[in-house]
A and B are shown apart, each in its own frame.
Chain A
Amino acid sequence: MATILVYVETRGGAVQPIAFELLAAARSLAAPAGWTVEALVCAADPAAPAVEITAADCVLTMAHPALSPYLPEAHAAALQAVVDERQPDVVLFGYTTAGLDLAPATAGRTGRTLAAYCRTLALDGGALTASAQVYGGKLIAGIEAPLPAVACVMPGAFAEDAGRIAGSPERIVLPAPATLGALKTRVLEELFPEAGGVDLTQASRILCVGRGIGEAAKIAGAAEVAELLGAELAGSRPVIDAGWMPKARQVGKSGTKVRPKLYVAVGVSGAPEHLEGMAKSDLIVAINSDARAPIFGAAHFGAAIDLFDLLPALADRLRAG
C-alpha cells in the first residue's frame, strides 16, 4: 500500500508542534487515496516522544546516541536508511532548520523529487502537487513533483488539531544504520536562550521593525511609538542581521515565536519565516508601502503607506492620549 512518511521533530524529548501539523497534512492526503501514514521518531530515547504520536497508522522509532541532540548528519543517515527500506511515496518535513537540512538531503540521497515552502498539498495521478510561497511570499508557485516525492511544509499551513486525534497506531522499532557510528560531525554543546533581558514571548504588545526602516538611526522613531504604545520593540531578521538590534529582539523562524495581544509590523514585508513567528497574534496591524506585501495576508488591519509619514502622526496622537 502507498504510504506517506512524516518526520517527527523532537527537542529535549518532546515532539515539536510542527510534527502535528505534518500529521494533519499527511492524513488529509492519505484519506481520499486510501494511503497509510507512518511517523518516524529518531532520537537517543524516542520512546517518550513516540507516545505523543497517535494520529498515524504506524509509528516508527529509531534509537541511537548520535540522534540527540539533533545533528543533521545523523538524522540524514537515519532517514536515508528508513526511506530506502520502507520506500514511502511521499515524505513530509516542516519548514524548520531540520526541514531545511533534511528535505533536500533525503530527496538527494534517495532519488526523490522535492517541493519546498508548501502551503497546500494534493495528489494528482503520479505526482504530488503543491502551492508554495516564493519571492518572500510575493508570488505563489504551483509545483508538480513526480512521485516518489519529498515536501517541506510551511508552519501554519495545516491545523495541528487533526494531527493530534486519538488512535492506536502500530509501533515498530527500527535498527539504527551502521553509518551512525562513523559520523564526521558531532554536537559539542546546546545553547539555550539566556534568562533575563527582554522576553518577547511574555510581551502583550510588540512593535516590530522590518527592513523598510532603512537604517539603524531611523529606528528611534519606531522606538518612540513603541514606548507610547507600551510595546516591546522587536525586529525582523534583516534588522537583526544588520546588527541594528540584539538577537533577543528577533521575531520569526530563527528568532522568537510570539503571540501578543497586539502586534504592529512596520516596514516588514512578511517573509514566510517572519509570519511563522507572529501569525497567531491576537491583533495584527501592518504598515507597508507595498500593498501586495505578504504581511497583509496575515494582518487583521493594515495600511499601504510610508511608515515615515505614519509614525510621527501616530506618535502625536498617542502622546495626546
Chain B
Amino acid sequence: MHAAVVLRLVPDIADDLEISESGNDIDREWVGMKLNEFDDHALEEAVLLKERAGASVTAVALDGDGVDKLLQSAIARGADRVVKITYDELPPLPAAAAVAAILADAIQALGADVVLTGVQTPEDAGGQLAAALGARLGWPHLSAVAGVQPAPDGLIVRQEHSGGYATRVHAAGPVVLGVQSASQPPRYVSGSKLRQAIGVKPEKRAGGEAFAGPVAMVRRLAKPASGGGAAMWKGDADAVADQFVALLRERGLLKG
C-alpha cells in the first residue's frame, strides 16, 4: 500500500487576520502559517497505516514559503518520502477543483493507492480538496473520516456524521480520504528527530495543467462586527463574574 498525504500550510486563525489591499485576500506577510490541523490528523493516520500495514507514506505539498520545513517535519513524524509540487499561480482562497488539477497528475505518477488529506481548511471557500481530488482522479472518496484500518482486501474507513452517528465503509480500491480526526491524537516529535530531518531535501515535481473550467472567485473579504450579536460585559474578572451571576439569578438559572 502506498499512502500519499497532502499537507497544506494555512494561516493561524489565532492570529489577527488583516485584509490585503486587494480586498480579496488576507495580508499574508505578517500572519503566522501552520500545518492545517486536519492535515496533521491525516498525516498521523497515514503513519499509523505504515505501522499497522507496512504502507509506504509520501507527504505531498504545493511548493511555497515554509514548505521544505513542513515536509521535513513530516519525515520526522514517519513519512518515507516528501515531494513538493510546483505550479504557476493560484488565486486567493483557490477553488478545490483548481488545486486538485495541480495535484492529481503527481499523485498518480507517485503510484499512490490511497490519498489522505484534511477534511477542510479554514480558507477553502471554493470547496474541500478530498472530494474534488476524488472527482479529478475518478476515485471514490469519503469526508469526515475518523479512523482507517487496514483490511486484507482494502481499507475499512470510519465516516462520522452528526449526532454521534457513523458508518464503517469498506474501500476495495484506490480512495481519497478527507480526515477529520486520526485514530489517535497526532504524535509528539522530539527535537532530535526534527533536527535529523532538516537534512532531507524534498523532491520537486511539476504539477498538472491548470484547471481549464470556470471557478468561483472570492471577490472581497470583510470582518464581521466586533462582539457580534452579544451584549458584552465590561470590566475585570470580578466585574464580569458579578454580571454573570446576576444574569443567572435573574433568569432563575442558579443551581439549587
Chain A residues within CB distance 8 Å of chain B:
11, 69-73, 76, 96-98, 100-105, 107-109, 111, 113-117, 132, 134-146, 149, 152, 183-194, 205, 228-230, 237-238, 240-243, 247-248, 253-257, 261-262, 269, 277, 283-287, 291-292, 294-306, 309-310, 312-314, 316-318, 321
Contacts and interface: CB of A to CB of B under 8 A. Distances in A.
Given A101-B141, A292-B223, A184 B122 contact: no
Pick the most buried of A104, A284, A309: most chain B CB atoms within 10 A of its CB: A104
A70 B167 contact: yes
Given A143-B126, A255-B162, 14 more contacts: A105-B132, A108-B134, A113-B216, A114-B95, A116-B127, A141-B125, A185-B175, A187-B167, A188-B168, A229-B248, A243-B185, A283-B253, A303-B243, A309-B237
B132 A107 contact: yes
Contacts of A299: 228-230
Given A135-B26, A140-B224, A100 B178 contact: yes
A154 to B, nearest CB: 12
Contacts of A103: 127-128, 131
Contacts of A310: 237, 240-241, 244
Given A140-B221, A296-B229, A300-B231, A318 B245 contact: yes
Given A100-B119, A285-B244, A238 B127 contact: no
A70 B96 CA distance: 23
26 contacts: A76-B140, A96-B162, A97-B160, A103-B128, A104-B129, A105-B131, A108-B134, A132-B125, A134-B221, A135-B17, A139-B17, A144-B217, A191-B158, A191-B167, A238-B37, A242-B185, A247-B164, A253-B162, A255-B164, A269-B13, A301-B232, A303-B234, A304-B227, A305-B237, A305-B240, A321-B254
Contact of B134 (A105, A144, A145): A105
Of A186, A237, A286, A303, most B-chain CB atoms within 10 Å: A303
A255 B169 CA distance: 19
B226 A72 contact: no
Contact of A254 (B97, B162, B213): B162
Contacts of B173: 184
A143 B128 CA distance: 15
B81 interface: no
A185 B172 contact: yes
B209 interface: no
With most chain B CB atoms within 10 A of its CB, the pick from A111, A191, A242, A253 is A191
Interface string B199-221: 00000000000000111111111
A105 B143 CA distance: 11
A144 to B, nearest CB: 5
Interface in B15-45: 17, 19, 26, 37, 41
A253 B165 CA distance: 11
Interface residues of B, number: 95
A116 B132 CA distance: 13
B93 interface: yes
B230 A257 contact: no
Nearest to A70: B167
A146 B201 CA distance: 41
A229 B160 CA distance: 31
Given A107-B132, A185-B175, A317-B242, A138 B223 contact: yes
Nearest to B212: A111
A115 to B, nearest CB: 5
Contact of B167 (A69, A135, A295): A69
B69 interface: no
B154 to A, nearest CB: 8
Given A140-B223, A140-B224, A286-B230, A184 B175 contact: yes
Contacts of B164: 192-194, 247-248, 255-256
A141 B255 contact: no
B100 interface: yes
A104 B131 contact: yes
